[in-house]
Amino acid sequence: MKGLEKKRVVITAAATGIGRATAEAFLAAGARLHVCDVDSAGLAAFKASHPALGTTIADVSAEDQVDQLFKEAAETLGSIDVLVNNAGIAGPTANLEDCSPEDWRRTLAVNLDGAYLCARRAIPVMKRAQSGCIINLSSSAGIFGFARRTPYASAKWAIIGLTKSLALELGPFGIRVNAICPGPVEGARIERVIAAEAKASGRSPNEVRSTIVQFNALKTFVSPQDIANMILFLCSPAGARISGQALPVDGYTYTLGE
């Protein structure tokens, strides 16, 4: 991807999955990175393969840890051109009345508050530069309802509202804000979600997986690389006139079924 050389990029939850694929894609494009994760071992392994990578162990739902992340990112990068708010958790799989207040608050704290806390720290830096790009990770759950996934879906719908509102606030400063709405992404996390849904609904994991694929036009899951490709496009000169959008990368999920 052209035009990303020397861009200074902060990515949350980058030790594995979408975050790791996105970080590696930015590195391949010549960008400079500072990343965080709660997985210290995964973060150390990533840095071992990319010694110039800046890293911080941080839970994005904790304000003091986000403050430390951006302090260390400033030391590594000097400024910030791109923020990718990737951190998120699946939350509980249960009917709403069976979701504990603690699970509800934790799901929103990581998925929504984390994006707010990170954007809050990145925005003043981008305003000074009169340019920047923020990518928030929503989900197909931010477009459709998910039975037994209400805390997660609520947070992902809210991410789209955050994105559209910030795009209006920040456009006059040359800062673009977009959301990506992945469908089910291949990897360990979706396998945990499938197992939890199978248990809650009394179906087998294979039945749950088949249902997900059934209501997808391309009959497929997506890969972390698919999401990384869209993020890099939006942050590149090719995406320079795209802002305030919630863009599905999901093979066209047209209903979630039951």
Tokens of 122: 């990145």
CA triple 174-24-113, angle to 5 deg: 55
Rounded CA gap, 214 and 207, in Å? Answer: 10
Q: Which of 116, 152, 252, 254 is catalytic?
A: 152
**In contact, 233 and 121? CB cutoff 8 Å:** no
DSSP secondary structure string for all residues of 171-194: GGGTEEEEEEEE-SBTTHHHHHHH
**In contact, 139 and 205? CB cutoff 8 Å:** no
Residue type at position 207: E
Taking phi over 0 as left and psi of -120 to 50 as alpha, with beta for the rest, 53 belongs to beta
Residues in the chain: 258
Is 152 part of the annotated catalytic residue set? yes
Which residues are annotated as catalytic? Answer: 152
